[in-house]
Amino acid sequence: MKRLIIFALGCLGLALALAFRVVDEKGAQVLKQLGVSEEDAKDYVWLDFSHAIFSYPRTEQILALAKGDRPAMVKSVVDFAKKYTRSEEFYNRYQTFREGKQPERPDPPKSMDELRKEEKDLLQKSLKEIEDNLKNATPEQKEQYRPALDGLRASIKSIDDPNNPMYSKDIEKAYQQDYEGQLETFRKDSLEWVQEWTTDPKPMLIRGLEKFLEISADVDFGAAVVRHSSGYTTFANLEYENKPPEWKVCYRAGKGAVEAARAAAKEWLKELQSGK
């Protein structure tokens, strides 16, 4: 019995390996027919989901593809996308992307003593540079720069003045209040980040598929267009001109391709929501 179970598991593993190999070979063949490299295809899949946009490479092969041939191609491309999003490469790419979206905690405000010291050091450095440059200057040149030197010395002296309004308790309080506001925003953004950008990329994939299904639900594939003498086209129904770019991408792709994409997206969405 034990040997039978081991044999069955071995057959299952072989079947899965062969299935993935078929997907790999079929996907590579389709990409080649479309004139798209595997790396470019991965980048488009990544951008479509990470930025919730519908973009695709505009190669000569894709533009020349007959509308009747598009549904089958769509299914193969979706299979490629599904396999890529389940890969370690995609997972690692997502983690880097997710970390880049993590809000940064604001730095606490500097004390008035720290600000005094920083400003004083900066002014003293400028003063020394001018004095060094004037060591070999002519009397006329030294006289010319005297007002600037006097101004710097006066500014340095004013920094140590305890009554300087730039370093008052009111200013310090304002800095602290601003910091507390930034901190509150940081906490709010961090909570949203944890909820939206989980360690599992599935929610991102679900959002992308749901957006596609929502936008592609009401595409008018029979919409008339007007071809202008300048070479560009517009919809006869001007309301369609205000549709999002993704809607127009679906219109150009054609009913067959979009219906195939919607069917594949619904199936994929169901798999993700069921935890597959």
Which value, in Å, is the radius of gyration of the alpha carbons in the chain?
A: 32
Predicted TM-score (pTM) of this structure: 0.72
**In b/e form, how buried is each residue of 86-113, taking b as 16+ CB within 10 angstroms?**
eeeebeebbeebbeeeeeeeeeebeebe
Domains of the chain, by residue range, sit at: 2-101+197-273, 112-192
In tens digits, the chain (276 residues) has pLDDT values of 333 333 233 332 323 222 333 334 555 676 777 777 889 889 989 999 998 877 665 555 555 565 666 777 888 888 999 999 999 999 999 999 999 999 999 999 999 999 999 999 999 999 999 999 888 889 899 899 899 999 999 999 999 999 999 999 999 999 999 999 999 999 999 999 999 999 999 999 999 999 999 999 999 999 999 999 888 899 999 999 999 988 998 888 888 888 999 999 999 999 999 976
Distances (CA, A) of 254 to 50, 183, 215, 257: 25, 49, 14, 6
Measured CA to CA, the distance from residue 209 to residue 81 in angstroms comes to: 12
